[in-house]
Every structure is written in structure tokens, then in C-alpha cells.
Amino acid sequence: MLSQIVRPMVRTQIRSLANSLATRSTLISTIAQWLGFLGVQAQVTHLEADSDQKISICLTVGKPEGCDSHDWQQIVHNLNQEANDVPVEYLQPQLTPQQQSKLQRLFAYLIQVAEPEVRVGWEIRSHQLQGLGLDEQMLLGIRSALKVPQSLDRLMAGIDPDLAAIALPKAVSIAWLDGQVNSSEDDALTALLEVMKQPAKL
């Protein structure tokens, strides 16, 4: 999925951008297209090369496809009411113990299938996971879940669309820790995407 479609596509587009005679306008439309893949309607309102390595952009973003209108209106309302930025840690979703356990076992599964023949020490692995923003409680649960084989079918049976949406970004990051996505990791990521397509239970 990711390695076979998204990244080669982006590489091709980057190469086209490098050879384009209208780099600015082409990059603006390409960025909007990338966000469009996520169902996000976006317009680039400012683009500037900051240095040899970075480009700064400003976006105007509309309501994503599939987003509940009430939720989107509440987000806009909250932004208009905020006097100061809220620290990132307060924006993290609150998980029940059951949801936390499901994520711990799912992340453990991704680690187990990444390189089955290679044993990476926990000290190295935990440092990598900390770099992805996983807290100590999550790490302890993952370490415990690694002690037993995990089953993708059983894991997915207990994950709802909302939890899948929370899990997917971290799952992708874990799958890419070794710089590649194998078939087992791909199956897990695809399964999360399929769950996310299901209507959330009210």
C-alpha cells in the first residue's frame, strides 16, 4: 500500500517539480492534491523557500470529506474562542483502559512482524517508540504484549473506526521504523484503513 503506491507517486511528482518551468504554481497545485488524497480541501495562500532545505507554506483548509458538519463548526468555534494555544499534550485523545490495551497489542504486533528473524533490543526499540511520542504507560504495555504472539484478526475485531483513526498515524510510523513496509505490516495498515471506512457507532 504505502511503499508501493504513495511513496513512488510522491517521488515521481517531486522529480516532475524539479524539472518544471513553473515550479511555484505546480508545487501549489501538488500540495493541494496531496491533501486531497486525505479528503481535505486546501488552498495554498503563501509559498516561500526559507532555505536550501525548507519551504514555508500557508494553507486555507475547508471541511474534510466525511467530516461531521457539527464537529467542524465546533472546531472553528473553538479556534475563534481560544486566547492562547493549548499545549499539545492536552490535545491527545483520552483512551479507556480497553482502548489503550488494544493499541498496545496492535503496536506490539507491528513490531513482531517487522523483522521476525531479527531481535532488536528493548532499549533501542523503546527509544525509537519514545521518538514517536508514545508515553511510558503505552511503552510498558507494548513491552508486555511483545512477550506473546499477537493475532491481527483478533486485534482488528476489537477496533472501531474512531480507535483505528487514532492508531493509524502511529502504526504507519512504527511500520516505517526500518524504512520499509513488508506484507504483514501492509496488511495491518490496510485493515486499519478498512475499519476507518466503516460508519462510527453512535
Look up residue 14 and give its amino acid. I
The radius of gyration computed from the CA coordinates of the chain, to the nearest angstrom, equals 19
**Which residues are within 8 A (CB) of 105 and not within 5 positions of it... i.e. 6 or more apart?**
141, 145, 150, 155
Average pLDDT, the chain: 81
pLDDT, residue 83, reads: 57
**Predicted model pTM:** 0.63
DSSP 94-139: P--HHHHHHHHHHHHHHHHHH-TT----HHHHHHHHHHTT--HHHH
pLDDT, residue 117, reads: 59
- Percentage above 90 pLDDT, the chain: 19
**Which residues are within 8 A (CB) of 188 and not within 5 positions of it... i.e. 6 or more apart?**
106, 109, 110, 113, 152, 171, 175
Q: Which residues pair with 56 in a beta bridge?
A: 48
Q: Where are the domains of the chain?
A: 2-61, 97-197
- Residue range 174-199: average pLDDT? 85
Cβ–Cβ < 8 Å for 87, 93: no
Distance of CA 116 to the CA centre of its chain: 23
pLDDT in tens, 16-32: 788 877 888 888 888 88
CA distances from 99 to 105, 162, 164, 166 (A): 10, 10, 10, 10
Higher pLDDT, 186 or 16: 186
Higher pLDDT, 7 or 158: 158
Longest dimension (CA), the chain: 55
